[in-house]
Amino acid sequence: MSDVWIVDDQLTGRMVLERLASLPEAPATTRMFTSPADALAAAHASVPDLVLVDYQMPQMDGVAFTHAFRSLPGCGETPVVVVTSFEDRDLRCRSLEAGATDFLTKPVDPNEFLARCRNLLTLRSQQKLIRGRAEWLEQQVAEATREIQLRERDTLLHLARAGEYRDEETGNHVVRMSRYSRLIAETLGIPAERCALLELSAPMHDIGKIGISDTILLKEGRLAPQEFEALKAHTTIGYEILKGSPSKYLQTGAIIALGHHERFDGSGYPGGLSGEEIPLFSRIVAVADVYDALTSERPYKRAWPAAEAVACIREESGKHFDPACVDAFLACYDRIRAVQDELPDPAERKRSCRDLRACAS
């Protein structure tokens, strides 16, 4: 049943409107207000389906009430009918500008009253129905979007692990280093949306290793110079694999894959870029990736103590790493250690990548 509010300081006016609103032809519950201020206060708690407000009231006239009512949350679509004994064109214009839906002229004609109220309540009912359907649809779209995002995140992580599978441990390297990367980015003040993009793209930094021969990737002992040169190609291979995708995550992953072995002093590969020529995400991932390599156990080395790994990162500031990224790494190091403790590697390990061995040596 519809909820009709009647706002009128005069008892006679309220009684007439209440009697009309209670007729069987227009079934509704009615609520009476002698004070416009009381009606406005009540509208904070519940929103009516129709408001009938008298124009001529001493404390606040119908135009002022309508303007104030329209400004309240949820009251923008409720029909408001201004009841007046004046045939004043200017009054009607001001009422419409304030948000009035319709007018009734005193003395109120019962047939006109019922027809107008019935139409307005029908309109209100349709509005609520449409809004309900829109909210349901919005919820369905949001749920579908969340599912798509979860699937995409899961696909990206599995793709990244595919790149690591042949030579990397089956543990949490790509998850840890992507979390480290996001923490560094947040500390640098990078916007949240970009930080999330980095976290989902960083795990694909070594996807190009799927194009490297097993004789190099799984070789025990130190790589020969020509073998290490061949290994460097994993950066360009990864870039070529990812660059053509319409996905922003794969596009960003392509940039990271190509640049994460560049060094701030220009001695890295594949392009010998230096300083800010290196994409910022690649500079961030370089710190996160090497730190995780240093502090993880490998078949060819022990895991470095955290203090030694941090000292190495600090020492390489301005040489291997962007000083700003190193400063951010040090500033958020407590959170990085928390991630490290949260995501340890399992006992069983696979062989490790040779390029990270070179970084750690």
Which of 213 and 254 is assigned the larger pLDDT? 254
Tell me the percentage of the chain whose pLDDT exceeds 70: 88
State the pLDDT confidence band at 351, using cuts at 50, 70 and 90.
very low
Q: Please report, as a single letter, which amino acid is at residue 215.
A: T
Give which of 165, 171, 92, 152 is closest to 346, Cα–Cα.
171
Give 34's DSSP letter: S
**Over the chain, what is the mean pLDDT?**
85
Q: Is the pTM above the cut of 0.85?
A: no
| Residue 175, C-beta contacts closer than 8 angstroms, at least 6 positions apart | 157, 203, 343
Checking phi first, is residue 160 left (phi over 0); if not, alpha (psi -120 to 50) or beta? alpha
Q: What DSSP line would sit under 265-315, residue for residue?
A: TS--SSS---GGGS-HHHHHHHHHHHHHHHTS-BTTBPPPPHHHHHHHHHH
The whole-angstrom distance between residue 126's C-alpha and the CA centroid of its chain comes to: 32
Q: What is the pLDDT of residue 85?
A: 79
Ranges assigned E (strand) in 92-233:
102-105
d(CA 242, CA 313): 29
Phi-psi region of 272 (alpha: psi -120 to 50; beta: other; left: phi over 0): left
Provide long-range contacts, Cβ within 8 A and 24+ apart, for 103-112.
104/52, 106/13, 108/16, 108/17, 108/20, 108/83, 110/20, 110/23
Convert 303-331 into a string of H (helix), E (strand) and C (coil). CCCHHHHHHHHHHCECCCECHHHHHHHHH
Distance CA 168, CA 298 (A): 9
Strand extents, DSSP E, the chain? 2-7, 28-33, 50-54, 80-84, 102-105
HSE, CB side, 13 Å, CA atoms: give it for residue 20. Answer: 22
Please tell me whether residue 32 adopts helix, strand or coil conformation.
strand
Give pLDDT, residue 269: 96
Selection from 166-180, 223-237, 312-326 with the highest mean pLDDT: 312-326
- Asked if 290 and 360 count as a contact pair (C-beta separation under 8 A), the reply is yes
Phi/psi for 108 (5° steps) reads -75, 130
Q: Which residues contact 194 (CB under 8 A, 6 or more apart)?
A: 185
HSE-up of residue 244 (Cα within 13 Å, Cβ side): 3
Query: Angle at Cα 83 formed by Cα 82 and Cα 88, nearest 5°?
Result: 85
Q: Which residues are registered as beta bridge partners of 321? A: 317
Question: Is it the case that residue 320 has pLDDT exceeding 90?
Answer: yes
Asked whether the predicted pLDDT for residue 354 surpasses 90, the reply is no
- The residue extents of the domains of the chain are 2-135, 171-360
- The CATH number of 171-360 is 1.10.3210.10
**pLDDT tens per residue across span 70-129:** 999 989 889 999 988 777 788 888 888 889 998 888 888 888 888 888 888 888 888 888
**Residue 168: predicted pLDDT:** 52
Contact 332, 187 (CB under 8 A): yes
- Is the pLDDT assigned to residue 14 strictly greater than 80? no
255-298 residue pLDDT tens: 999 999 999 999 999 999 999 999 999 999 999 999 999 998 76
C-alpha 163/C-alpha 204 separation (Å) is 7
Output Rg (C-alpha) for the chain, integer angstroms: 35
Contact 281, 254 (CB under 8 A): no
Q: CATH number for the 2-135 domain, one of 1.10.260.40, 3.40.50.920, 3.40.50.2300, 3.20.20.100?
A: 3.40.50.2300
